[in-house]
Structure 1
Amino acid sequence: RFGAELIIAVEQPGRGWLVMSSPWPRSDWPLLWQLIAQTLILYAVVLLPVLWGARRISQPLQSLTNATRRFKPGEAQSPLAEQGPQDVRSVIAAFNALRLRVTAMLDEKDRMLGAIGHDLRTPLAALRVRIESVEDDDDRARMADTIDEMNRTLDDILSLARLGRPSEARTEVDLTALVDAVVEDFIAIGSPVSFVEADRVTLSLRPSLMRRAIRNLIENAVKYGVSAEVRVVPGKDQVAITVADQGPGIPAEKLEDVFDAFTRLETSRNRDTGGAGLGLALARAIVREAGGEVTLTNRPGGGLDATITLPRQRG
């Protein structure tokens, strides 16, 4: 019942015929299963070594990719293990060497910035002492204001240059209290700044840097927008700090341009509206380092909203 019989006959010269017979199934399924089994065996013989080689290459490359993404200058990190084929090990060794060179260059930059700051502040302090001998009160006040402006500009430049490697550690901060304290500093010197009471919000931040960013936004609001109203608006996934002024706003096409360093919309040399144009650039850099963003929005009824948005840590 198996099926037909396959008979093969081959003539052998001088020796007669060689006859062979073999069962021939009527169904093609046994032959099909044989072909499938042979194909699977072939794949196992060929593909398994290929897959093993690909995995041997991909694992070190994935580790290199992750290390590159995690790399932050100034943070202590152990060298990446040199694994895989020779070419991959060479790439990993080059990355380890590059990371050391970048860290060394940034260390040198920090030392240079420290020396520059010291060398510039020393003559400014000497000038501050010498202007006390100026008899005219108005001239002396203008000189003192100029020196103060130079000191503030120097602080902004150094802070912006060092922001990639902040020396201040992150701590749990009551953001509402921090903002309130900054506003109180402005109120103490008679600036038209108000704070809208809000619930307590605790975030992991670098408090001195965040205080600097908020202060810069309030200074801009008071300087260019007459007054500032500061609000803290907690949300489910983020917290917004809004500084609303009563000024004329900013043309829509220039809302992003003002975040560029040394960019000012007011180009006169008036001391009251002067500055180096670093306040917003520094504020955005600080907030982005904290994982947030700074945006400017013109209100329909007039005035400008400068908003810091910070993510809330999920426990």
Structure 2
Amino acid sequence: MAALMRRLHRAAAWLLPSTLFGRLALLLLVAVLASHVLALSLMWELGPGGLPGAPGRPPPPSAWLQGHEPSAAAAGGAPGRADGQRGGRASDMARPGPPSLRRMLEAPPHLQLGLLLDIGVRLAVLLAAAWWAARWLTQPIRRLAAAAQDLGQNFDGPGLPEEGPTEYRDASRVFNQMRSRIGQQLAERDGFVAAVSHDLRTPLTRLRLRVEGLASPDEQQRFGRDIVEMDAMITATLDHLRGVAQGEPLVVLDVAALAESLADDHQDMGHAVTVHGHARPVLAQPSALRRCLDNLVGNAVRYGGLAQVTLHDGEDHLRIAVRDRGPGLPVQELGRVTTPFYRVETSRNRESGGAGLGLSIAQDIVRRHGGRLVLSNAPGGGLLAEVLLPRRPGPVSPQHNVA
């Protein structure tokens, strides 16, 4: 049986046209033929005696109309008209509307019912064929859209199957080639970042050893601050470069527990960080989301002295608000501070202002989750950073872990 099914599948694949145009033309032809065959079969079944009250098969239309047409002698004119003009019956001129429609309305009831059944059957078959054709022809496009959506999360998964119509095979081949090139470029970038990290930190290590050998404690402290600043800049830059390249899987994440753990870490360092509200678990990348919130909380503590984290659980999205009590930002700067390496005029000192990558990294992470990072000045003072994460519809698939 399996061998027979394989032969039938190969035969069907051989008979089907190789292009979407050919398949659509074949489908329309089959639908029209099927509607005609089904309608004629039904009309044959509803022949003499097939309908209640039908006296049998009606006479030919010419014989049926013969008794209704006046003779040419009685009308004094051409056959078929009572007014002497050439054409149809006199009743055709007496009543408004097309003669064919009037004749159809004057036909016996079983003929009218047969005509309506014929039209209805043909229309139903064509509508069903159109619906099935739309699903059949758009299925490869839906697979391509799903693969494109998954591309941002996983570059190592299986590619699209290069099968089906010629157009879809070509699109799948190009998509798989693009996916392979992007994955290769990201792998090369990871290697480049690792090499740069090693090459940059080696001189810093030598400088740190030489600074420790200085006789003056003041010089040791001054040069030590410069080395720490350079190390922080290198770390932030490399984190930004590798941030979007890492494909951490999505898991069912308890965001409230994550926020509490982050607050505990900052409180251990003497920072005033509080967490309010609760939220249901959400699909997210744990390390990436923790890094995003850590950047926002660290930014709030640095400029506002404290950080208030509030969770708002919505039906369609989760909102995480981080607020400080600092001076806020000028309105014209709110849309610029997420630009890489951008720092406002009041934070030119890198020791207090950082490298200008914290908010940029946070925004990249939120966008990777399909969400938004909204910055605004809170009523009463302070900067309000809101992370809006969409909730994935439907049940969680078994491959998702729980964190």
| Band of TM-score, shorter chain | 0.7 to 0.9
CA positional deviation for 1:277: 0.8
Aligned counterparts of 2:117 and 2:275: Cα–Cα separation in 1 = 76
Bigger drift between 273-282 and 232-241 goes to: 232-241
Judge conservation of contact 1:293–1:308 (CA < 8 Å) in 2: yes
Q: Alpha-carbon deviation of 1:266?
A: 2.6
Counterpart CA distance in 1 for 2:341 and 2:144 is 37
CA offset digits 1:110-139 (Å, max 9, x no partner)? 111121122222222222222111233233
| 1:263 to 2:342 alignment | yes
* Structure 2 alignment gaps of length 5 or more: 1-62, 71-88, 92-101, 396-403
- Cα contact 1:173–1:203 (8 A) shared by 2: yes
Please, which moves more after superposition, 165-174 or 287-296?
165-174
Distance 1:177 1:138, change over 3 A: farther
Deviates more, 1:296-305 or 1:169-178: 169-178
The Cα offsets for residues 12-42 of structure 1, whole Å up to 9 and x where unpaired, read as xxxxxxxxxxxx9x75218998999999999
Q: Look up the SS of the partner of 1:257 in the other structure.
A: coil
In structure 2, distance between residues paired with 1:194 and 1:41: 71
Residue 117 (str. 1) matches residue 192 (str. 2): no
Q: CA deviation at 1:156?
A: 2.3
| Alignment correspondent of 1:231 | 309
Residue among 216, 220, 241 paired with 2:320: 241
Change (3 A) 1:274 1:303: closer
Structure 1 position 284, deviation (Å):
1.4
Task: Tell me the distance in 1 between the aligned counterparts of 2:127 and 2:255.
Answer: 57
Amino acid at match of 1:218: V
Q: Give TM-score, length-normalised by structure 1.
A: 0.76
Out of 234, 243, 255, which is 1:154 matched to? Answer: 234
User: Deviation string for 1:202-236 (max 9, x for gaps)?
Assistant: 444333322222221122222222x1232232323
Match status 1:28 vs 2:108 = no
Shift in alpha-carbon separation, 1:260–1:222, aligned structure 2, 3 A: same
Cα distance in structure 2, aligned partners of 1:72 and 1:90: 22
In the TM superposition, 1:182-221 aligns within 5 A as 182-191=262-271, 193-199=272-278, 201-221=280-300
Partner of 1:77: 157
The alpha carbon displacement at 1:182 in A equals: 2.4
Three-state SS of the structure 2 residue aligned to 1:307 is strand
TM-score (norm 2): 0.61
Deviations 1:178-218 (A, max 9, x none): 22332333333333x23145447544433332222222112
Going from structure 1 to structure 2, the CA distance change for 1:132 and 1:158 (only over 3 Å counts) comes to same
Please name the residue that 1:13 is paired with: none
Please give the secondary structure, in 1, of the residue aligned with 2:345: coil
* Structure 2 CA distance for partners of 1:138 and 1:306, relative to 1, 3 Å: farther
Give 1:305's aligned amino acid.
L
CA shift in 2, pair 1:207/1:134, >3 Å: farther
Establish whether residue 283 from structure 1 lines up as the match of residue 362 from structure 2: yes
Distance 1:149 1:300, change over 3 A: same
Quote the offset at 1:298 in angstroms.
1.0
Deviation at 1:289, TM superposition (A): 2.1
Superposed CA RMSD in Å reads: 4.0
| Mapped partners of 2:121, 2:282: distance in 1 | 59
- Greater share of helix residues, 1 or 2? 2
Partner of residue 64, structure 2? 2
The reply on whether 1:67 has 2:147 as its aligned counterpart is yes
> Per-residue deviation at 1:84?
4.2
8 Å Cα contact 1:263-1:278 kept in structure 2: yes
1:143-197, Cα deviation, whole Å (9 max, x unpaired): 2222222222222222222233325444444333322332333333333x23145
1:109 Cα deviation after fit: 1.4
* Contact 1:247–1:302 (Cα < 8 Å) also in 2: yes
AA of the residue aligned to 1:233: L
Higher strand proportion: 1
Which range moved further: 104-113 or 276-285? 104-113
Among 205, 209, 213, the alignment partner of 1:129 is 209
Q: Which of 362, 365, 374 matches 1:295?
A: 374
Corresponding residue for 2:181?
Answer: 101
Aligned residues: 300
Contact kept in structure 2, 1:156 and 1:282, CA below 8 Å: no
